[in-house]
Amino acid sequence: MIGRLNHVAIVVPDLEAASATYRATLGANVSAAVDLPEHGVTTVFVELPNTKIELLHPLGEGSPIAKFLSQNASGGIHHICYEVDDILAARDKLKAEGLRVLGDGEPKIGAHGKPVLFLHPKDLFGTLVELEQA
């Protein structure tokens, strides 16, 4: 059911510094920062030949990643994202198998302009998993 790895998301305390490190030190192609108020984050994507790295920084006080950053001051891996062909079919199958979908269970539009869902990390061995419609 899951397809290719779309990205690995890393929460960073300083988005400009992280972007500069990936761009200048590691020689990667790094996008401009984009605010996503509906998700409470600012994102930057690092393009790699086989996947992407998403750098995340809290946007506003109610950001869902603010708590993560307060507990991990240096930042760290936040989630991994897999592509699925049909997000609603994937959601329904996974729920039938006992996995929990976070939020209201309905897909939201993610950073790539495609529907996304998040699965509870306790159901997937401590890893927050995002599913994105391919």
CATH classification of the domain holding 43: 3.10.180.10
Long-range own/partner contacts, residues 97-105 (CB < 8 A, 24 or more apart): 98/123, 99/123, 99/124
Exposure of 2 in the CB half-sphere (CA atoms within 13 A): 12
**Which entry of 16, 38, 83, 130 is annotated as an active-site residue?**
130
Q: What is the pLDDT of residues 29-49, one digit of tens each?
A: 999 999 999 899 999 999 999
Q: Is 130 a catalytic residue?
A: yes
Instruction: Please answer whether residues 18 and 12 qualify as being in contact, where contact means their C-beta atoms are separated by less than 8 angstroms.
Output: yes
pTM for this model (two decimals): 0.93
Q: What is the pLDDT of residues 81-122, one digit of tens each?
A: 999 999 999 999 999 999 999 999 999 999 999 999 999 999
Report how far residue 109's alpha carbon sits from residue 132's, in angstroms, rounded to the nearest whole number.
Answer: 9
Q: Is 68 helix (H, G, I), strand (E, B) or coil?
A: helix
pLDDT at residue 73 is higher than 90: yes
Report how far residue 8's alpha carbon sits from residue 2's, in angstroms, rounded to the nearest whole number.
Answer: 15
> What range defines the domain where residue 84 resides?
5-133
* Residues in CB range of 97: below 8 A, 6 or more apart: none
Question: How many domains does the chain contain in total?
Answer: 1
Q: Sign of the C-alpha dihedral, residues 32, 29, 53, 134?
A: positive
